[in-house]
Amino acid sequence: MRSLSEIETTSKRASKAVGFSWGEAEEVGKSVRLLELFGFPGIQNLIQYYQKKEKKKFENISAINKNNRPSKNPFCPILLGICLLDQIRSLENSKIYAFNKVAFPILLLPFLSRSSQIIGKKILFTFDKNNFLLNFNLNIFSNSFRGKFPSLAKKTRIYFLDNKDNFSTKDWNKLYRLSENTFVEETDSLKKGAAGAGLNDND
């Protein structure tokens, strides 16, 4: 079994070999490592993308709007992912972003996972019938594991979610009342012990 370090290094070198800068290639290495760590086919989709990249030009994006459409060819998922990372602080204020025609959209997933950690918010990423909930780069909940992902997503959506508790106020109050059973009532002896703590000279 290949180590995560080997996966990252080889992905980085391969990305440089197909024309990306060393800085961009480093981002690819980190991202493919994350995909494999989370159980998604990162290596498989990366090599398939690079094989298509030899014959077809994919588009870059420099500024992200609420609705994004390429002029002709699909967006490059790697350059789009790097752009998202660079602009994520300014993007989080809007709730939804749409992208038409993204090549190999699964390659965009780790960039969004890392973005979730940067802004401290959960991100929902959808394309076709695939849904991915990204949790601060710690884990990914999805309805699509081990499946075959498309080489082109006609419509993708990115949702920035507000942080909310997963429990009700009622359940929290019940739990807190239960925790109060561990509280120790303050007595005179405890007060004296606390007041004199650290005042005795043991030398």
Give pLDDT tens digits for 85-125: 999 999 998 999 999 999 999 999 999 999 999 999 999 99
Q: How far apart are CA 18 and CA 22, in angstroms?
A: 11
**What is the pLDDT at residue 86?**
96
In the β-sheet with 67-68, what is the strand arrangement from edge to edge? 67-68, 96-103, 152-160, 123-127, 130-135, 139-142
pLDDT, tens digit, 9 for 90 and up, residues 48-95: 999 999 999 999 999 999 999 999 999 999 999 999 999 999 999 899
Which DSSP letter does residue 35 get? H
Q: What is the pTM of this model?
A: 0.85
For 74, phi then psi, to 5°, come to: -60, 155
Closest alpha carbon to 155 in 115, 96, 199? 96
| pLDDT at residue 28 greater than cutoff 60 | yes
**What is the pLDDT at residue 178?**
95
Q: How far apart are CA 97 and CA 58, in angstroms?
A: 20
User: Of 53-57, 106-110, 176-180, 186-190, which range is least confident?
Assistant: 186-190
Domain boundaries, the chain: 4-160
- Show the tokens assigned to 30: 């980190």
| pLDDT at residue 194 greater than cutoff 90 | no
At residue 97, the 3 state secondary structure works out as strand
**What is the pLDDT at residue 184?**
76
Please count the helices (runs of H) and the strands (runs of E) in the chain: 7, 6
DSSP string computed for 124-154: EEEETTEEEEEETTTEEEES-SSPPPPSEEE
**What is the pLDDT at residue 100?**
97
**What is the pLDDT at residue 52?**
96
β-strand pairing of 123-127 with 152-160:
antiparallel
pLDDT band at residue 148 under the 50/70/90 scheme:
confident
